[in-house]
Each structure stands twice: as structure tokens, then as C-alpha cells.
Amino acid sequence: MVTKIIIISIVFLFAAWDIQAYSQQKINDFYLSNFKDGTQSWEVKGREAMVYDKYVDIENMIANYYLENDKVVITSDKARLHQDSMNVALQDNVHIKNKDGMELFTNSLNWERDKNLINTEDWVKTSKDSMQIIAQGLSADTQIKKADFEKNVEVTFPDEKTKTVTTATCSGPLEIEYSSGKAVFNDNVIVTHPQGKMFSDKTTLFFDVKEKKVVKIVSEGNVKIERENNVTFADKATYYDKEQKLILEGRPRLIYYPQAKGDDGLSGLFKKDKDKNKEKE
């Protein structure tokens, strides 16, 4: 009886060892690719990988994602490839770059390959042409042509011709469409422009993709504009950069704060009128 128990134990031991041995496999120089309609659609490489039943853990991943007229390169220190959906969860030093020069940096990212979507709740930094965006949380297509930046957004728009910089911040979200040159900022928006600072509930910024500059700024809801000694309030304000023209709508009002010394504005006019009255006396 004892001998029988020992034999059964040995059988179970070998069976358990066999399951463990074949349920995971280590592969050096990992490589996986996919072809669609005779054309390569994506490929994933890694320094090494651990293959499990439902997923593959990859070290030092490099993925090439081939789209029409574009190639997106995605890298990360670690990645988990889910074998059922082929979606990838990336971790640590995540970097995305395409041939047009768009770049993204973050610490974690989910890539839904079939849907051509990426998302993260982490901080992200993206740049395209001269525009740079820093925000917490992102949902976008892999090329970031259309993206929603969730919160704590800061955007920088350098103007190469005038050598000036326009910055915009908001609580979020920021909805941006690079192809149409449109960015919509929501909640606690502050736009700092060489012509002044503009506060609002919502601001739509239009930019020229080819010229790489701001074209028009439309602010709505509790608009306040600070410029030199003036503070202007309105329901809506539209600024045209080329003409340097500002149009105010909805009960606009202006408050002027004269300088204490050397003011040539309204305080200067009041002083001249007072001097004239003294001469008449």
C-alpha cells in the first residue's frame, strides 16, 4: 500500500512538473508578425519573452505598425501581448513616433491594435511640428491625429516667424484634431498670447498646420482679457492673429487701471483738463 502511494505521488509530481514546463516558455530574440491581404500590417520584437497560455510578456519591445502612407514605431521596456485580442499593454519608457515626426512619451499605455486606438491614465507628453502638449490621461488614435487629453492640460504653440510663443492651459479635457487644425480647451481655460492673457470656460484655438502658427482664438463663457492696464469682460471674444483684431460679443465692458507714474492714458487726459480749468480761472 505504501509503495502504491509512493508511485502515485511520483506520477503526480511528474505530471505537475510537465504542466509547469509547457505552460510557459522563454524565447530570446522574440519576433511575431501579421500579414493582411498579403501585406504586413504589424510586427512585434523583443529582447526576450515569456510565453504563457493567454499572454506573452516581452522585454524591450519594439513594434512597427504599418498604416496607409505611414509607419508607427512603438517601444517600451515591458509589454504584455494578449493572445486572444492581440492588444498590448505597455509599461515603462513608452515611446511612439511616426514618420511625420509626431512623438509621444508616457509610463504606461494600452494599445488596441485592431481599433487603432491608444489610451492611458498616466501623464503624457506629445509633440508634433512645433506644438507640445503635456496632460494627464489620453485617448487617441495611434497616430494621434484626433485625441482627447483628459485633464491638467498645458499646450505650447511657438510661432517660428515672429519668434513668439502662445501657451494654453485648462482643467480638461482638450479635444484636438491635428488634420483640421482645431483644438478645443474646456474648463478653467487660460490662453497667454503676446497680445495679452485670456480667461474663459471654453476656448477653441485654430492653427495653420502648414504655417505652424495660431490663426484664430475663440473664447466663450465668463471671458476676461488682461492686456497692459486694461481688463475686458465679455460673453464671447474672437481674436484674429493676422489682423491682430479682437471682437467682443455679449455685454462687453472695459476697466482701465491707470499707472501711478508717467501715465499718458486717461489719467493724463484728466490732468490736462484740470490744468486748462486753472488757466481759465
* pLDDT by position in tens, the chain (length 281): 433 333 333 333 333 334 344 457 888 999 988 777 778 888 999 999 999 989 999 999 999 988 888 899 999 999 999 988 889 999 999 999 998 889 999 999 999 988 889 999 999 999 987 789 999 999 999 888 899 999 999 999 887 777 788 899 999 999 999 888 899 999 999 999 888 899 999 999 998 877 778 889 999 999 999 988 889 999 999 999 888 888 999 988 878 766 655 544 434 433 444 444 444 44
Tell me if 94 is assigned to some domain: yes
Tell me if 46 is assigned to some domain: yes
Same domain flag for 91 and 210: no
The domain boundary, picked from 52, 84, 115, lies at: 115
Q: Are strands 213-227 and 182-193 parallel, antiparallel or unpaired?
A: unpaired
Stated pTM of the model: 0.78
Tell me if 4 is assigned to some domain: no
What pLDDT is recorded for position 33?
84
Nearest to 111 by CA among 135, 125, 91: 91
CATH of the domain at 264: 2.60.450.10
Find where cell 471674444 sits.
237
Taking the C-alpha atoms of residue 27 and residue 197, their distance in angstroms, rounded to an integer, is 57
**pLDDT averaged over every residue in the chain:** 82
Same domain flag for 120 and 148: yes
- Dihedral (C-alpha) 66, 71, 77, 80: value to the nearest 10 degrees? -20
What pLDDT is recorded for position 140?
94
Number of domains in the chain: 2
Tell me if 169 is assigned to some domain: yes
Tell me if 153 is assigned to some domain: yes
Same domain flag for 196 and 144: yes
Tell me if 80 is assigned to some domain: yes
Same domain flag for 43 and 177: no
Nearest to 55 by CA among 30, 77, 73: 30
Nearest to 147 by CA among 102, 198, 92: 102
C-beta atoms surrounding 46 within 10 Å: 24
Tell me if 14 is assigned to some domain: no
Q: How far is CA 212 from the centre of its chain?
A: 17
Q: In whole angstroms, how far apart are CA 244 and each of 18, 162, 194, 237, 266?
A: 76, 13, 11, 13, 23
The domain boundary, picked from 115, 146, 174, lies at: 115
- For residue 147, give every residue at least 6 positions away whose Cβ sits within 8 Å of its Cβ, in sequence order, or none: 126, 138, 139, 140, 141, 175, 176
User: Cell numbers of 111, please?
Assistant: 494599445
Look up the domain containing 129 and give its range.
116-281
Same domain flag for 137 and 245: yes
Taking the C-alpha atoms of residue 228 and residue 243, their distance in angstroms, rounded to an integer, is 19
Same domain flag for 138 and 265: yes
User: Cell numbers of 234, please?
Assistant: 465679455
What pLDDT is recorded for position 237?
92
Same domain flag for 141 and 66: no
Same domain flag for 141 and 237: yes
Same domain flag for 37 and 160: no
The domain boundary, picked from 93, 115, 137, lies at: 115
Find where cell 508634433 sits.
128
What pLDDT is recorded for position 118?
94
Tell me if 12 is assigned to some domain: no
Same domain flag for 143 and 214: yes
Same domain flag for 85 and 121: no
Same domain flag for 141 and 269: yes
Q: Are strands 230-240 and 146-159 parallel, antiparallel or unpaired?
A: unpaired
C-beta atoms surrounding 224 within 10 Å: 16
